[in-house]
Structure 1
């Protein structure tokens, strides 16, 4: 369980760096955990197998990036890098 949360946190953080905007510590953790389900499902559907911690982080990060992309489309949320005070 601890590894699952750690991989979720790492992949959520990576996804927030790739898509230039995250939701903080807890938001990145939730994004990474949900992204692991999305990424695992997509990789499984495509017939791609991932093994080990690195494979889990890669598939979770792909899922988290897709999740952030869908969130931005639905809610019209601008990335943090493009927001101005």
Structure 2
């Protein structure tokens, strides 16, 4: 169980880093990792509720990447107001 949490955090952090590069955003490494972890968690919940749960590390990474991109998009909208 602890290994799953650690792996989830690593995948979320990596997804946040990749999402920041895709979205052209540089909030700093730590903030990108946090956005990735939170975005991955939220996207995982939403995808799970829709019955589209991710399987394996690659699926988890893709869901986390989508969530991180969405969170970065929302982050931009909030800061630009």
Specify the alignment match of 1:62 in structure 2.
66
Q: Is the 1:11–1:57 contact (alpha carbons within 8 Å) kept by the matching residues of 2?
A: yes
Instruction: Write out aligned runs for 1:38-57 (5 A).
Output: 38-57=42-61
Greater fraction helix: 2
TM-score of the two chains, using structure 2 as the length reference: 0.83
Identify unmatched segments of 5+ residues in structure 2: none
Identify unmatched segments of 5+ residues in structure 1: 78-85
Number of paired residues?
77
In the TM superposition, structure 1's runs of 4+ consecutive aligned residues that sit over 4 Å from their partners are none
TM-score of the two chains, using structure 1 as the length reference: 0.79
RMSD: 1.6
* Larger gyration radius, structure 1 or structure 2: 1
